[in-house]
Amino acid sequence: MSLPVDEKTGLPDLSEKGRDARGEVIRSERRLFMQLQAYGLCADLDAVIEAVQTLRAPIAVYADINDPMGVAIMGASEDPEFFVGPWRHLFHLPVFADLVPKPEYTMMGRSYSIGYEADLDHVLVNRPIQRLTNPLLPWAVWYPLRRAGAFEKLPAEEQRAILGEHGQLGSLFSAADLGYDIRLDCRGIDKNDNDFVIGLIGKDLFPLSAMVQAMRKTRQTSEFLERLGPFFVGKAVWQQVAG
């Protein structure tokens, strides 16, 4: 059974896991939920920003590069109640009444650990917020993906090797300050049954395109992806760490 189980209780163990400097397993129950909402026919971007400023949460407002009247808003919270409370209320404000929703770009996911991280709070909460709201990293490419079922049937060792190839590419780009990622698990909370939402964040657009190009050649992308996209591409015109 692949579901982690607590050895003492025999019940599911849903905590995020990492390892400390001694190699001991550490756990956290913290997770960051993030959602992107996109609109067209936005003639007054300043009015949208003014409305978004009323929320006390990490947020980025993007100008859509593929739609001269497009805008998107990415919000984050550790509490999913935020998205059916203040976040939902935001989009009922008058400024959004004349905008055209683009539900094809709606993406939502949660941060997760891989199992070796030593600083879980940083990986699960602080790092995604820092990347989302860093004014030096305004460009963003957001997209969902679904892996083919065949990947889940591979032996664990082979899965790790495939994911390691992908992760190594990402590490090379981040080490060169060319681009960074935000990885979100969206299984069970994505309307199109995708597995992950990926955000590529950087100071320039071209390296983010180059990241996607390089990853197309990995085994994961070339053999084990069932669905990829749609891609939202934009530049942050306003960011907020928290209210």
Per-residue pLDDT of 80-102, as tens digits, reads: 999 999 999 999 999 999 999 99
List all residues 6 or more positions away from 6 whose beta carbon is below 8 Å from its beta carbon.
12, 13
pLDDT tens string 11-58:
999 999 999 999 999 999 999 999 999 999 999 999 999 999 999 999
Q: What is the spatial distance between Cα 214 and Cα 218, in angstroms, rounded to a whole number?
A: 7
Q: What angle do CA 9, 10, 14 make, to 5 degrees?
A: 90
| pLDDT exceeds 60 at position 233 | yes
Which residue type occupies 179?
G
CA 109, distance to chain mean position in Å, is 6
**Structure-model confidence comparison of residues 142 and 3, the more confident one:** 142
Q: Residue 243's pLDDT is what?
A: 55
Distances (CA, A) of 61 to 32, 57, 204, 208, 215: 18, 12, 17, 18, 27
Residue 181 has pLDDT above 90, yes or no: yes
The 10 Å CB-count burial string (b at 16+, else e) for 117-129 is: beebeebbbebbb
Mean pLDDT for the stretch of residues 184-203: 97
Residue 117 to residue 106: CA distance in whole angstroms: 29
Give pLDDT, residue 1: 43
DSSP track, 63-92:
EETT-TT-EEEEEEES-GGGGGTHHHHHTT
The pLDDT of residue 219: 86
How much is the pLDDT for 161? 84
- DSSP letter at 230 equals P
Residue 36, pLDDT score? 98
**pLDDT tens for each residue of 119-141:** 999 999 999 999 999 999 999 99
Mean pLDDT, rounded, for 57-74: 98
116, 18 Cβ separation under 8 angstroms: yes
| pLDDT over 70, % of the chain | 99
- 172 has pLDDT over 90: yes
pLDDT, the chain, mean: 94
Q: Look at residue 128 in the predicted model and tell me its pLDDT.
A: 98
Mean pLDDT of 178-190: 97
Which residues have C-beta within 8 Å of that of residue 173, sequence separation ≥ 6? 179, 180, 207, 210, 211, 214
